[in-house]
Amino acid sequence: EIVMTQSPATLSVSPGERVTLSCRASQYISSHLAWYQQKPGQAPKLLIYGASIRAPGLPARFSGSGSGTDFTLTISSLQSEDFSLYYCQQYHNWPLLTFGAGTKVEIK
Amino acid sequence: EVQLVQSGAEVKQPGESLKISCKGSGYTFTTNWIVWVRQMPGKGLEWVGLIYPADSDTKYSPSFQGQVTISADKSINTAYLQMTRLQASDTAIYYCATGLVGATPGQFFDSWGQGTLVTVAS
Size of interface A-B (CB pairs under 8 A): 63
> Closest approach of chain B CAs to the CA of A16, in angstroms?
27
State mean pLDDT over A87-95. 96
Residue A99 pLDDT: 98
Taking 80 as the threshold, does the pLDDT of residue B16 lie above it?
yes
B107 interaction partners in chain A (CB closer than 8 Å): 32, 34, 49, 91, 94, 97
pLDDT category of residue B103 using cuts at 50, 70 and 90: confident
Share of chain A above pLDDT 70, in %: 100
Taking 80 as the threshold, does the pLDDT of residue B114 lie above it?
yes
pLDDT category of residue A45 using cuts at 50, 70 and 90: very high
State mean pLDDT over A71-86. 96
Taking 80 as the threshold, does the pLDDT of residue B102 lie above it?
no
CA A10 to chain CA centroid, Å, is 13
Q: What is the four-CA torsion angle of B92, A36, A27, B65, rounded to 10 degrees?
A: 30
Taking 90 as the threshold, does the pLDDT of residue A89 lie above it?
yes
Residue B35 pLDDT: 97
A17-31, A72-86, B95-109 — which is least confidently predicted? Answer: B95-109
Q: What is the per-residue burial (b if ≥16 Cβ within 10 Å, else e) of B21-32?
A: bbbbeebebeeb
Residue A95 pLDDT: 94
Q: What's the pLDDT tens digit per position in A54-70?
A: 999 999 999 999 999 99
Taking 80 as the threshold, does the pLDDT of residue A103 lie above it?
yes
Distance CA B109, CA A68 (A): 21
Distance CA B114, CA B97 (A): 9
pLDDT category of residue A40 using cuts at 50, 70 and 90: very high
Q: What's the pLDDT tens digit per position in B35-90?
A: 999 999 999 999 999 999 999 999 999 999 999 999 999 999 999 999 999 999 99
In this complex, the residue of A46, A50, A87 whose CB is nearest that of residue B110 is A46
CA-wise closest residue to B112 among A38, A66, A44, A106: A44
Distance CA B114, CA B95 (A): 7
What contacts B37, CB < 8 A, 6 or more positions away?
A44, B45, B46, B47, B48, B94, B95, B96, B97
Distance CA B48, CA B29 (A): 19
In this complex, the residue of B47, B108, B113 whose CB is nearest that of residue A46 is B108
Residue A4 pLDDT: 98
